[in-house]
Amino acid sequence: MSKLRVNAFTLSADGYGAGPDQSLQHPLGVGGENLHKWLTTTRTFHKMVIGKEGGATGIDDDLAVRSFENVGAYILGRNMFGPIRGAWPDESWKGWWGDNPPYHVPVFVLTHHKRAPITMEGGTTFHFVTDGIHSALEQAKAVAGDKDVRLGGGVSTFRQYLQLRLIDEMHLAISPVLLGSGENLFAGLDMVKLGYRCTEHIATPHAMHVMIGRA
**Can you give the pLDDT at residue 117?**
97
- What does pLDDT average to over the chain? 92
Convert the pLDDT of each residue in 34-57 to its tens digit: 788 899 889 988 887 777 788 899
Three-class secondary structure of residue 173 per DSSP? strand
Contacts of 97 (CB under 8 A, 6+ apart): 49
What pTM does this model have?
0.91
Query: Shortest CA distance to 85 belongs to which of 21, 131, 134, 34?
Result: 21
Where residue 123 falls among pLDDT bands split at 50, 70, 90? very high
**Sheet with 4-12: strands ordered across:** 118-119, 125-129, 106-110, 71-76, 148-151, 4-12, 169-175, 208-214, 196-203
Amino acid present at 31: G
Asked if residue 133 lies in contact with residue 159, where contact means CB atoms within 8 angstroms, the answer is: no
Q: Give the whole-angstrom CA distance, residue 102 versus residue 124.
A: 8
Superfamily for 4-214? Dihydrofolate Reductase, subunit A (3.40.430.10)
What is the percentage of the chain residues whose pLDDT exceeds 90? 70
Would you kindly state where each structural domain of the chain is located, as residue ranges?
4-214
